[in-house]
Amino acid sequence: MKHIFLPVHACAGLMFFLVSLTGHSQTDTTYWKKDLRTGLSFNQASFSDNWQGGGVNSIGLNTFLNYKANYRKGIHSWDNEIDLAYGIIKNEGQSSRKSVDRIFLDTKYGRKLSDKWDFYTSLSFLSQFDKGYEYDVEDPGTGEIYDKLISNFMSPAFVTSSWGVEYHPVSYFNIRFGPFSPRMTVVSDEGVAVNGEVDGEPARYGVPVGDKTRFEWLAFQMVADFNKDIANNLNLKWKYMLFANYEELEFRKVDHRLDVSITAKVNKFIDVALGGILIYDYDQVDEVQISQALNLGVVYKFKNYTDKKE
């Protein structure tokens, strides 16, 4: 059980470190804009032994952290983002299971071409904190029921560098077009189950069995970001990422990921958030993957700037 809470501790530690840094930013007169959102959400259900409606006692905890530090001066810009999330749920009679698990780091240098266009180069990292399982799988040989390991920290991990142009017509929306975006896929845990093929050979997330990395040098990436208060105390945020390998340029082999969240502010410290993730990655499974979550939690927010109304 201890290893389950290590990602929560990591998120919490970084959370309080960044909160302490924001305290020194109140008199910041540099060209930095800093934006921090972090919090905890808790859910619980319990039933008496004679409860006739059915149900399972459960407890759940989620933690998240999103921190942005963006620099602007003259024709130069440098944007940085840390996006972390981890959650567990424990149902009576079952082991603890993950409800959300995400590590996303992104840094981007931009050079102004015009009021709405920049040249950019970026580097991003995407992985997870903890092991992921497909539960109650039947072994076709023995009939034994077991939990199949399907992911872990750095298994997979995606490291993508990109060069291209960015269009930012308004402050709450931007889109990057990266015609040269090489990507490295890492699978460091050899215990992760095989989930596909490369050139007829078994592979994990596109990495051939026996290897730990796969390089896709000739590739295109598009990233679109939207973050806007669409009504009083109601925020809509989404990020769409597309990745296409020029050497395997087929429609069914283009990767897509869409993260969407709608957040309603209850008061200064409490938010209700509805979030969803849609993924299509041919190297994982030839189907659309969907995840959804509804959370009520305590949130800490900080900005050292005021948004302009547009």
- Report helix, strand or coil for 122: strand
Q: Are 99 and 133 in contact (CB under 8 A)?
A: no
What pTM, to 2 d.p., does this model score?
0.88
CA 104 to chain centre: 5
Q: How many residues does the chain have?
A: 310
Tell me the CATH class for 2-47+66-303.
mainly beta
Q: Are 78 and 70 in contact (CB under 8 A)?
A: yes
Q: Is 118 exposed, middle or buried (0-12, 13-18, 19+ CB in 10 A)?
A: buried
In tens digits, the chain (310 residues) has pLDDT values of 444 444 545 554 554 555 455 555 444 557 999 999 999 998 777 877 777 676 778 888 999 999 999 999 999 999 999 999 999 999 888 888 999 999 999 999 999 999 999 999 999 999 999 999 999 999 888 989 999 999 999 999 999 999 999 999 999 999 999 999 999 999 999 999 998 887 778 999 999 999 999 999 999 999 999 999 999 999 999 999 999 999 999 999 999 999 999 999 999 899 999 999 999 999 998 899 999 888 889 999 998 887 766 6
**What is the domain partition of the chain in residue ranges?**
2-47+66-303
User: For residue 120, which of 63, 164, 160, 71 has the smallest C-alpha distance?
Assistant: 164
Interatomic CA distance for residues 59 and 48, integer angstroms: 15
Interatomic CA distance for residues 33 and 100, integer angstroms: 28
Q: Token pair 């530090």 is at which residue? A: 69
Q: Token pair 């215990």 is at which residue? A: 191
Q: HSE (CB half, 13 Å, CA atoms) of 32? A: 16
Interatomic CA distance for residues 123 and 159, integer angstroms: 7
User: For residue 206, which of 164, 269, 248 has the smallest C-alpha distance?
Assistant: 248
